[in-house]
Every structure is written in structure tokens, then in C-alpha cells.
């Protein structure tokens, strides 16, 4: 028997093909085994591939699983955007809210129909402030990134933050330093085992740019992603981090900003981040972006 699957490659956080962050999407994944999903993700070799399964409950509309070329991960920002973009097109959805079951829980996704196209808004998981990276681990981290203490933004703690999939926030002063980074991926992988966090988000802050506040680069070699072009699960937690540590001004209700990522590897994309605030603390993070289909194909698997 031959099983047939709808297979997409979609660039997220952009409307220009071959920019932004590419994700694989299988929109009708029912019947695929873990082994097959891992093989498909490895074959496509994007940082993540999303597999959409039918709902088995009234609590959610779709169950989505995410695989890097080497591992399953609980959730992924750009692949969520890509998955719901493909699903919206296939189902000809209007502006609506759907719920996705993920490894980070059941979370809402808003489908915004505009100009015969879609923008996808992802509500991220629970905000968690993890350990501050200091001492020997911080020394190892800076060495692996080939930067020094003097390159770091003053009063910006190097800290693990999560909205479903944890990342380490590393604020640096200079855009030039950011674009010139050449990390030691083996050393970062080794450090990931020690600190139990796979993603390193290095960012700069531009308080004088009225449009783009953040430029960043994200490295996750421990899960098969040396550099991720545009990362929802880095910029979302960064928004919570900036509010929590009082690094930005806000109205104590909402903080919005745009982040640009992927420039250093010629895959630029823009993420819009929205942080809901209560009693001066972040309580919810949303990210949003556009997407564009690169190709749609059919994958046939024989039993």
C-alpha cells in the first residue's frame, strides 16, 4: 500500500522567497511513525519540520510535532508559522483562532487574513526564567563565541529563558561583532550538555531605531542547527527578558517590538513580538509573521 503526504517547504517571517527561515511542513501526517518523521526532517534538512496530525479532542484543532534533522523538539516558532500558513491555505480559512497541541501544551494561534494572504500570530508557552549563566560556564560560553566580557552589554545578565523551548540570552554591544561571530560549534554543543540548554541567542539592542529594536543570531548545534536564520522561540523569550529586567520602556500593559535576524547568513527576516505585562512583569508572549510557499510536493511512502 502507498501512503501519500502533502509536503511543503515554506519560508517564515518574510514574503520574499529564499529569505527568512525555511521550514518543512507535512499537513496530513496521520500514519507517520517517529522514525519516518525523523527521516523526513533529515532529508529536508531545514532547522525544523512540522508534522500536522488530526485532532483527537475538542480541546484543540490540530496536533503538531516538530523535528530538527536530529531531534524532536517541543515547539518551534517559525515552523508553527509555516504549519498554520499551509493549513490556512489548504482549508481556505478566514480570520480565526485555532488551537494547537504541542510539546509545550495547547496554545492558541490566530490566523489573520489580509489582502488574500495570511499573517500568523503564535501565542507562546509559559514564561520561565531559568538560571543566570556565570562563573566557569560563562567563561566557556564567551570562549566558544570568541568574544570577551567587554563585548557584552552592561547590566544584561546572560540567562536561560523559555516560552516552551529554552534559549540563553546573550546581549552584546556591537552589530559589527554580531555579524562577525564565528562560534566554536563543538564547544557550544559540549556546553549545552553541562547547562541543559541547546540554544544561544546573541542579540544587540538599537534604542534609536524607530522600527527594528533587535538584531540577533541564534546557534543550536547540539540539536543539529549550527545557525537558525529567524527564531520565534528566541525573540519571544527575549521580549519577556527585556521587560523583566527593565531594559525597555513600556506602558505596564503591552510592549511591542520588531526583531531582524538572519542577515549574517543572507536569510533576513522580521519577527513582530508582543509582550503582555501585568504588575510590571511579562505574563504572555506572542510572535507574528508572514510566510511564503517555496514548493508543494507529494511524498509517497510504500508500506
Question: First CA to last CA across the chain, in angstroms?
Answer: 6
Q: Tell me the β-bridge partners of 66.
A: 50, 73
- Residue where the block lists cell 562560534: 183
Contact 14, 260 (CB under 8 A): no
Read off the DSSP letter of residue 148: -
Please pick, among 16, 48, 136, 298, the residue that the annotation labels catalytic.
48
Number of helices and strands in the chain (H, E)? 6, 18
Residue among 237, 255, 264, 293 at smallest CA distance from 84: 293
* 156 C-beta neighbours (distance < 10 Å), count: 18
> Nearest CA to 259 among 285, 236, 227, 276?
236
- Residues contacting residue 70 through CB under 8 Å, at least 6 positions apart: 38, 42, 223, 224
Does the annotation count 48 as an active-site position? yes
Active site members: 48
Amino acid at each position: 500500500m502507498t501512503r501519500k503526504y502533502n509536503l511543503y517547504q515554506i519560508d517564515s517571517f518574510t514574503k520574499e522567497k529564499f529569505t527568512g527561515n525555511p521550514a518543512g511542513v507535512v499537513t496530513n501526517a496521520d500514519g507517520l511513525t517517529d522514525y519516518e518523521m525523523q527521516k523526513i526532517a533529515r532529508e529536508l534538512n531545514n532547522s525544523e519540520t512540522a508534522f500536522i496530525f488530526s485532532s483527537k479532542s475538542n480541546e484543540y484543532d490540530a496536533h503538531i510535532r516538530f523535528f530538527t534533522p536530529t531531534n524532536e523538539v517541543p515547539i518551534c516558532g517559525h515552523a508553527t508559522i509555516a504549519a498554520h500558513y499551509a493549513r490556512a491555505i489548504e482549508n481556505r480559512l478566514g480570520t480565526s483562532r485555532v488551537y494547537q497541541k504541542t510539546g509545550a501544551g495547547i496554545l492558541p494561534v490566530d490566523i489573520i487574513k489580509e489582502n488574500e494572504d495570511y499573517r500568523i500570530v503564535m501565542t507562546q508557552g509559559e514564561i520561565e526564567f531559568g538560571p543566570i549563566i556565570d562563573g566557569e560556564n560563562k567563561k566557556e560560553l564567551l570562549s566558544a563565541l570568541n568574544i570577551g566580557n567587554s563585548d557584552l552589554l552592561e547590566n544584561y545578565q546572560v540567562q536561560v529563558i523559555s516560552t516552551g523551548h529554552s534559549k540563553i540570552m546573550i546581549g552584546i554591544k556591537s552589530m559589527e561583532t554580531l555579524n562577525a561571530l564565528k562560534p566554536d560549534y563543538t564547544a557550544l554543543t559540549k556546553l549545552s550538555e553541562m547547562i541543559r540548554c541547546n540554544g544561544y541567542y546573541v542579540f544587540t539592542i538599537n534604542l534609536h531605531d524607530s522600527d527594528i529594536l533587535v538584531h540577533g543570531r541564534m546557534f543550536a548545534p547540539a540539536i543539529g542547527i549550527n545557525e537558525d536564520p529567524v527564531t520565534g522561540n528566541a525573540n519571544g523569550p527575549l521580549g519577556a527578558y527585556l521587560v523583566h529586567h527593565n531594559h525597555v520602556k513600556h506602558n505596564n500593559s503591552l510592549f511591542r517590538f520588531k526583531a531582524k535576524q538572519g542577515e549574517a547568513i543572507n536569510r533576513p527576516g522580521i519577527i513582530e513580538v508582543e509582550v503582555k505585562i501585568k504588575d510590571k512583569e511579562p505574563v504572555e508572549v506572542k510572535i507574528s509573521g508572514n510566510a511564503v510557499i517555496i514548493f508543494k510536493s507529494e511524498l509517497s511512502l510504500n508500506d
